[in-house]
């Protein structure tokens, strides 16, 4: 029975991922998310239901529009797969519960934020507000409002200080708001762990990009995706963030005990 629920959740997540593609494309452009219906951005031809089957349509059409032959970015199936993985992981981690619903909703917002930031170097207020409402709402339902507020405050203070001290060059104000949003969901000290992890992830991923000169050193690199990756790890694999620290602490403890 659980296997069927897991499959259903994953399939629904794929469909949500398809909608997230619409959000990622239209929201920064100020377009309606509902009207007009799905259409090719190149030839504007309306897409049928068969053209919108998550993953399947992209592969069957070999990554091209069926009407004009324009290439369709691999990002579309990637976002759909991320949506499916998100919903599947939420059910695996939390079962059928309010926590699973919150994880799906919050994770969906994070995916949209990451890809919009990658495209436009923008973290939109509408997305951070939606995420904060989910985070605080989940805190209220689970009687963790205090922790949610503390986490939001920690995120705002840490990244706000960086924003001010770096003369607004290290990151944008949208990143500060995103940190507060993530903190509202993770609470404290979860937000502190995610903040540290985001800097490590950023260093690991940004250095190869700069060395490869895909972006000039003077060009900005979006920090939002690093925060999103850290937040998702904190949500579904917290041991991946705290494990290295715990191993280091155990090593030190063992070393001093043997002296």
Q: What is the pLDDT of residue 258?
A: 58
Q: Are residues 138 and 77 in the same domain?
A: no
Domain boundary among 38, 62, 96: 96
Predicted local distance difference test score (pLDDT) of residue 210: 62
36 and 134 housed in the same domain: no
Q: Rounded to the nearest 10 degrees, how much is the dihedral formed by the CA atoms of 205, 112, 86, 104?
A: 140
Question: Looking at the structure, do residues 136 and 232 belong to the same domain, yes or no?
Answer: yes
> Residue 173's closest CA among 159, 155, 158?
159
The predicted pLDDT at position 204 comes to 87
Q: What share of the chain is helix, strand, coil (3-state, %, to 5)?
A: 75, 0, 25
Residues of the chain with pLDDT under 70: 168-170, 209-220, 243-259
Same domain, 59 and 130: no
How many domains, the chain?
2
Does the residue 145 lie in any domain?
yes
Q: What is the DSSP string of 130-163?
A: HHHHHHHHHHHHTT-HHHHHHHHHHHHHHHHHHH
d(CA 169, CA 39): 38
User: Residue 205 CA to chain centroid, in angstroms?
Assistant: 16
Does residue 1 sit within a domain?
yes
| One domain for residues 18 and 77 | yes
Looking at the fold, whether 72 and 141 belong to one and the same domain comes out as no
Q: Is residue 68 part of a domain?
A: yes
**Domain end marker among 81, 96, 111:** 96
142 in the same domain as 91: no
Same domain for 91 and 128, yes or no, is no
**Domain-embedded: residue 173:** yes
- Cβ–Cβ < 8 Å for 234, 201: no
79 and 131 within one domain: no
pLDDT of res. 116: 97
Domain residue limits at 87? 1-96
The reply to whether 126 and 50 lie within a common domain is no
Same-domain pairing of 240 and 126: yes
Own/partner pairs, 232-235, CB within 8 angstroms, 24+ separation: 232/107, 232/110, 233/194, 233/197, 234/186, 234/190, 234/193, 234/194, 234/197, 235/93, 235/103, 235/106, 235/107, 235/185, 235/186
- Please report whether residue 137 resides in a domain: yes
pLDDT in tens, 97-153: 999 999 999 999 999 999 999 999 999 999 999 999 999 999 999 999 999 999 999
141 plus 236 within the same structural domain: yes
Residue pointed to by tokens 């986490």: 151
| 71 conformational bin, left if phi > 0, alpha if psi -120 to 50, beta if neither | beta
Query: What is d(CA 224, CA 18) in angstroms, rounded to the nearest whole number?
Result: 21
């Amino acid at each position: 029975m659980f296997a069927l629920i897991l499959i259903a959740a994953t399939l629904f997540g794929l469909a949500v991922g398809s909608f997230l593609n619409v959000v990622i494309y239209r929201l920064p452009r100020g377009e309606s998310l509902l009207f007009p219906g799905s259409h090719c951005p190149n030839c504007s031809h309306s897409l049928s239901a068969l053209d919108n089957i998550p993953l399947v349509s992209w592969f069957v059409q070999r990554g091209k529009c069926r009407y004009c032959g324009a290439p369709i970015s691999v990002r579309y199936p990637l976002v759909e797969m991320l949506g499916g993985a998100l919903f599947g992981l939420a059910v695996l981690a939390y079962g059928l519960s309010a926590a699973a619903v919150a994880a799906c909703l919050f994770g969906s917002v994070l995916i949209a934020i990451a890809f919009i930031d990658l495209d436009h170097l923008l973290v939109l207020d509408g997305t951070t507000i939606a995420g904060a409402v989910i985070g605080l709402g989940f805190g209220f339902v689970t009687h963790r409002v205090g922790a949610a507020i503390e986490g939001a405050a920690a995120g705002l203070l840490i990244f706000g200080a960086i924003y001010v001290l770096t003369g607004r060059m290290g990151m944008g104000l949208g990143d500060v708001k995103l940190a507060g949003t993530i903190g509202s969901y993770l609470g404290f000290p979860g937000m502190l762990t995610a903040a540290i992890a985001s800097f490590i992830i950023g260093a690991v991923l940004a250095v190869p990009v700069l060395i490869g000169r895909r972006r000039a050193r003077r060009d900005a690199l979006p920090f939002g995706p690093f925060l999103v990756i850290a937040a998702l790890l904190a949500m579904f694999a917290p041991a991946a963030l705290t494990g290295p620290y715990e191993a280091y602490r155990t090593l030190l403890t063992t070393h001093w005990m043997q002296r």
